[in-house]
Amino acid sequence: MGASPLHVVVFSTLFPNGAQPHAGLFIRERMFRVARHLPLSVVAPMPWFPLQSLIRLWRPGFRPPVPRRETQAGIQIIHCRFPSFPGLFKSLDGILLALGSLPTLWRLKRAGRLDVLDAHFGYPDGYAATLLGRWLRVPVTITMRGTEVRHAADPALAPRLRRALEGADRVFTVSASLRELALKLGVAPDKVRVIGNGVDTARFAPVPKAEARAALGLPADAPVLISVGGLAERKGFHRVIDLLPDLRRRFPGLMYLIAGGASAEGDWRARLERQVGSLGLTDTVRFLGVVEPDELKGPLSAADVFVLATRNEGWANVFLEAMACGVPVVTTDVGGNREVVCRPELGAVVPFGEPEALREAVMEALARSWDREALVAYARDNEWSRRVAELVEEFGAFGAAGDVARRQVQAEGQVHG
């Protein structure tokens, strides 16, 4: 890269901002570490249509206003807008996202601050990024994170997803299962690289269990389960709640902690609370709300078992975060879950949609004596440093091409379609 370091622009519609601080934390966690080695900016387009402020009169959380620019950890975040009508014309999101983002990215290109466009999620972000890459003549990378499974099964979106992945210069996947999906969609094998997420073992480390439980007002000797994630159907909190009456008969005094809040996929808290009430579990289930990452090690350390009955995942960072706190994981065999919980000493993986298997696995996990030090050691082996080194190396391969493209655009002074 020499005297002209490569400048990466992260492109994502799901990135934390002042109004939605918990959106896409996993993207920021990964890419801000890359920013320690390469210059980096973020373009995080926001969906918009003229009357959306009226919808907020009865849905206050709908598309909250976001500043056009903000700075996080010294990195510039630009929130341009693109037309998006809720429930309508979703097949147009990709092209509208590209058109809405073009002026912003063109200005970054002219300023010498766009050498690689790094999109997260295949559609609409990746689809828009490949169009922008072609218009601006910059290489494009796409990171597949799990939503691609659903889009690949959608007859309307699958062709767009396929075009996006085929049009990218490099496709990163956070799990081997997503790599297999990319190959099934026709992406050349030598273009796809698996680079999973990591864990910050300085932030996630065991807290003495007695201390962690005292902070939450939990009995010292109670069996404790925990789940963490956005309160959406996909995450499966309701599937765990359904098991609690049986689990309590085996483990009297059982407590279930739920850490999380509304997400881009929805907010099931009221529905989950009704379910808890109907099953007579109000003394069993504790809703902790959103727990900031720096505080999450406390609730995790208070638990005996982490459980997530999820319907789909790419690579669930929270599994490694739980293990870093010495907590085993019980989860469903979807996405990359088996790649993270890859050995019996780390937990159990059961078929999705089989509540009996999930119940038995949770019971066995609660009854078993776990090697907490082995769990922590496994998490340390999956620290962020190796993943970031791989990403920096991959981006660095575009260095010469990025310098050439920048000089071309600066000389020509215009975008060629």
- The Cα–Cα gap between 183 and 189 comes to 6
- The Cα–Cα gap between 171 and 193 comes to 6
CA-derived radius of gyration, the chain: 22
Q: Is the per-residue pLDDT at 171 higher than 90?
A: yes
Q: Which two tokens stand for residue 148?
A: 């691609």
Taken in order of first residue, the domains within the chain and their CATH numbers are 8-198+384-412 (3.40.50.2000), 209-380 (3.40.50.2000)
The answer to whether 117 touches 140, Cβ cutoff 8 Å, is yes
pLDDT band of residue 63 (cuts 50, 70, 90) is low
> Residue 63: which region, alpha, beta or left (left: phi > 0; alpha: psi -120 to 50)?
left
Average pLDDT over the chain reads: 89
**What pLDDT does residue 282 have?**
96
- The Cα–Cα gap between 374 and 278 comes to 39
H/E stretch holding 285 = strand 285-289
Give me the mean pLDDT over the 258-274 stretch. Answer: 90
35-62 as b/e, with b when 16 or more CB fall inside 10 Å?
bebbebbbbbbbbbeeebeeeeeeeeee
Question: At a CB cut-off of 8 Å and minimum separation 6, what does 85 contact?
Answer: 49
The answer to whether 164 touches 127, Cβ cutoff 8 Å, is yes
pLDDT in tens, 88-146: 667 788 999 999 999 999 999 999 999 999 999 999 999 999 999 999 999 999 999 98
Q: How many Cα atoms occupy the beta-carbon half-sphere of 51 within 13 Å? A: 4
Q: Is the per-residue pLDDT at 380 higher than 80?
A: yes
Q: Which two tokens stand for residue 49?
A: 């249509």
Place of tokens 């997503």: 178
**What pLDDT does residue 61 have?**
62
**What pLDDT does residue 408 have?**
44
- The Cα–Cα gap between 150 and 310 comes to 14
Q: Which two tokens stand for residue 30?
A: 């990964």
Q: Which residue has the higher pLDDT, 50 or 60?
A: 50
Q: Is the per-residue pLDDT at 75 higher than 60?
A: yes
**What pLDDT does residue 328 have?**
98
Instruction: Look up residue 157 and give its DSSP letter.
Output: T
- The Cα–Cα gap between 4 and 401 comes to 12
Q: Which residue has the higher pLDDT, 299 or 73?
A: 299
- The Cα–Cα gap between 235 and 310 comes to 4
147-167 as b/e, with b when 16 or more CB fall inside 10 Å?
bbbebbeeeebeebbbbbbeb
Edge-to-edge order in the sheet of strand 69-72: 69-72, 75-78, 40-43, 8-11, 116-120, 140-144, 170-173, 192-194
Instruction: Tell which residue, 68, 195, 97, has the closest CA to residue 143.
Output: 195
